[in-house]
Structure 1
């Protein structure tokens, strides 16, 4: 067990949406700079580090392409080789969302590239913590990362979903459970909505700064060989029920082996 005590993470900064011109058959949504808490359970103990993560290039407006009348994506049965098929296709009421970091709004990273992406979060840590984090990533036996963003058709909600395919399910589930327990213990995150049919899923609503700040909801779960994380943000009075519904559908989609549910 690590002897180091974690530093309490700063509350997410949530600047408001910017005004933007309307455009026919296009959805335009200004994304925000979001600070999140990334936790790491060290194998064999409960030591951890808290790292502030900020999405890249989140201050510029992003054009979201799509139309409510366009046919939705159709997913085929999962064969074990296509991680993208395990992401929930864009459902009714949503269009493809803003870019996630530098990867666009629908992307998959596999093999060493996925491992490198995970390990990049260690670069600014002290040497001891950096090595511990990388060892823990190795124990996950990470195979790939998939990410997709969704925006509501009325432009008041953005949801980002990330799937991490892992070879060591127990280590991954222990990590997820540890993260949820830590967020509860902090005492600053409100309990989010329950996810129907998925008792291992947890959601937390981050504190808002200022009356014009955005709401931020973060959720985590596991299903099969996947760790699932969802981040949702929008104006005050975030539709947490809609986020919970989309996460439930994502988890059902995974368990159905790629059939669109």
Structure 2
């Protein structure tokens, strides 16, 4: 994807660019363990919501071209932009959508555990290694009628049982914290769990974390906004994403 985004028209600029406080370090640690944002620290200050354009680099990047078909397959398994949504803010350095290799994904998942105590960090690293990550696709969505932002991540794994184990651990961890409340149920998908974080008094940011597994994918959805989150809208989008995976990337 290019480093430059097309400039939005002046009239739409206030709608596309917002200044929201960054998520606190505490939430970042929870997300690291829970897998909701996995490795992502949500940086929404002055976030640009314009569409990014993917471009190929120099001839030296032949290896990237060779891997393109696998990247395209994983990208197709991300839910296309639904009605009433537009491209969301950048996710770290990835822009609002990106596919990265298994090696890169493993490194970034491990980096997300940096703030954990050493014993938990080492256990987290081992569980990540067991997944045998093949790739990671990310995309952000921004609701057109509210300040709701939804980030979706699909982690493609070889070891499906390890994926189910880590997802179960993530859900149990959030329950054990005793501060997260149960989020919405995802219709037709019993393997999906959502948890609502207590509203942060400093940032005044609402946060909803969801995780699921479908086929060979670990699915993480993180929704946030400065006003109360429409949990029904998040549940609906996650259900659409899981149905889309079941259809192997075809529109449903």
Could you say if the C-alpha distance between residues 89 and 25 of structure 1 is closer, same or farther in structure 2, counting changes exceeding 3 Å?
Answer: farther
Equivalences for residues 1-261 of structure 1 within 5 A: 23=12, 27-34=16-23, 35-36=27-28, 37=30, 38-39=32-33, 55=41, 58=43, 60-65=45-50, 82-123=73-114, 128-210=119-201, 213-261=204-252
SS in 2 for 1:143: strand
Q: Secondary structure at the match of 1:82?
A: helix
Residue 136 (structure 1) shift: 2.0
Please report how far the alpha carbon of residue 205 of structure 1 lies from its aligned counterpart in structure 2 after TM superposition: 0.6
Give the C-alpha shift of residue 22 in structure 1: 5.3
What SS class does the counterpart of residue 163 from structure 2 fall into?
A: helix
Deviation readout 1:89-142 (Å, 9 max, x if unpaired): 010000000001111100111132222222223445565554433322221111
CA distance in 2, matches of 1:148, 1:257: 17
More helix by share: 2
Normalised TM-score (structure 1): 0.75
Q: CA RMSD in A?
A: 2.9
Alignment partners' CA distance in 2, 1:160 and 1:33: 15
Separation in 1, partners of 2:202, 2:22: 17
Q: Tell whether the 8 Å contact from 2:194 to 2:209 is kept in structure 1 after alignment.
A: yes
Q: CA deviation at 1:174?
A: 0.9
Q: Deviations over 1:9-57 (max 9, x none)?
A: xxxxxxxxxxxx952696223344222313289xxxxxxxxxx97726x
User: Structure 1's 180 and 153: CA in aligned 2 closer, same or farther, altered over 3 A?
Assistant: same
| Cα separation, 2, equivalents of 1:178 and 1:195 | 19
Structure with greater strand share of residues:
1
Instruction: Give structure 2 stretches of 5+ with no counterpart.
Output: 1-9, 52-68
Q: Distance in 2 between matches of 1:152 and 1:25?
A: 14
Superposed displacement of residue 154, structure 1: 2.4
Q: 1:100 to 1:258 in 2, by over 3 A?
A: same
For 2:207 and 2:166, how far apart are their aligned partners in 1?
22
Contact 1:172–1:227 under 8 Å retained in 2: yes
Aligned positions, number: 219
Tell me what 1:74 maps to.
none
Q: Distance in 1 between matches of 2:244 and 2:70?
A: 14
Q: Normalization by structure 2: what TM-score?
A: 0.77
